[in-house]
Amino acid sequence: MKYLTARIGDLTIGNGERIAVQTMCNTHTSDVVATTTQCISMCEAGADIIRITCPGLPDVEPLRKIRTNIRDLGYDVPIVADIHFSSKTAIAVAPFVDKVRINPGNFHPDHEKACSELATLLEVCKDYGTAVRIGLNHGSLGKRITDKYGNTPEAMALAAMEWIELCEAQSFGNLVVSLKSSNTVVMVEAYRILDRMMKEKNMVYPLHLGVTEAGNGDSGRIKSHVGISALLEEEIGDTVRVSLTEDPVAEIPEGQYLSGRYSTDEQDFFESSLHHFEDLDYHDDSGLSGEGRNFVATYHSESREQLLRDLSCDWGPDLLDRRIDSVKIVGDYIDKDGRIVDLEASGEGAYFEDELMQACRRRFYKPEYIACPGCGRTMYDLQGAFEAVKEKTSHLRNVVIAVMGCVVNGPGEMADADWGYVGEGNGKVSIYKGRTPVMMHVPEAEAPGKLLELIEKEL
């Protein structure tokens, strides 16, 4: 089997190399000082790769300056330009970055023209040694793909294979591929199918893993660890991003945990992390649910953060793939004040069980939130808006709500959402039912309440 690698600056990914940890700036690219400052914070936190949005041609020169600033300050972290629609922008920025992230299907509505524009970009990338990530998301496959293959995990993989084969025809191999979804089941299945397809064609390119628009807090972390760990367990994946609607620096320790757990020998990892298998008692309580399989897991964790990561990766893959039916989390952890917190007495064990089941799409105990992490296109306080929407809607059940940063990318990425809340800029919000706008130009202060009113009318 031919396992290929990608060279991103001085970093090699793929074919057994250490799993690289990525994050993305949420500052405006035109603000060179703010973006440079954020990049330095990311470097010092241990990011292996940093992505910066490049919405249009005016952003090319600021991005070039940002990369130059970072290099002048002594940091050699690879910089990735995030492109969504403009092949001209991708071609213009390719000489000044280490990788460009594109969805070639967005280059032009005519497929042949999109292919031609991709071929031009690949020639520029060859000249400058720039890597390319083909990034397809479940919510933005495009009409040609959905008409041809449907809107399924297999369609995502088939669409990616079309672009991979075009790159091969152009003799371009410095390539990374991603297939993201906010739905962990869809995301995992899409990557598995693509991995199988690449192996059948004897060309296994590096894969970048992530659960897109995962949200924030415990839910965003658990959802990401569940989906990513299910693939890394199978040795699928070479670089990861835990996308959170928070300060992007907060994503890095979550990615580092995954890299440490799956880049090294498993026994070495558990010995170094104070998380030992002997601390976990597995009890087969099959009789509790007839033919089902239910387990009790006992943890004694050094911190709540460590507990959350461990239980998500220990049990998420089995729950996601329905190899087990439930897990009861018991034991304790040490809080930030050095106190021992009993998981049963505090109720946190039951809370983590609910979060795990929802992340694995097994049982929903609250609304399912989709929220992008924000980037240079975001034109409002995304983190504040997300918290306001959650405050208004947290009592609801069996509803999927998307909170998105911009009208450029947001509506297309809300594939799984019943309702969408999208920032327009200038203090206004658009509210969507599915992908159809039902209220436009709603003042931000009123928008969470208006969203709740619309949802409750449908219940």
364-421: per-residue pLDDT in tens? 999 888 888 777 777 778 888 889 999 999 999 889 988 888 766 666 667 678 998 9
Say what the pLDDT of residue 142 is. 72
349: left (phi over 0), alpha (psi -120 to 50) or beta: alpha
- Specify the pLDDT at position 286: 37
Beta strand spans in 79-209 (E): 79-82, 99-102, 131-137, 175-180, 208-209
What distance in Å separates the CA atoms of residue 373 and residue 182, rounded to the nearest whole number? 12
Q: Look at phi and psi of residue 87 and say left if phi exceeds 0, alpha if psi is from -120 to 50, else beta.
A: alpha
Give 30: exposed, middle or buried? Use CB within 10 Å, 0-12, 13-18, 19+.
middle
pLDDT attached to residue 415: 65
Rounded distance between C-alpha atoms, residue 108 and residue 105, angstroms: 7
Whole-Å CA distances, 173 to 83, 125, 170, 238: 19, 11, 9, 16
Is residue 141 a contact partner of residue 156, using CB atoms and an 8 Å limit?
Answer: yes
pLDDT at 409: 61
Output phi, psi for 92, to 5 deg: -70, -35
User: Within the chain, which residues score under 50 in pLDDT?
Assistant: 272-291
pLDDT at 292: 58
Q: What is the pLDDT of residue 408?
A: 61
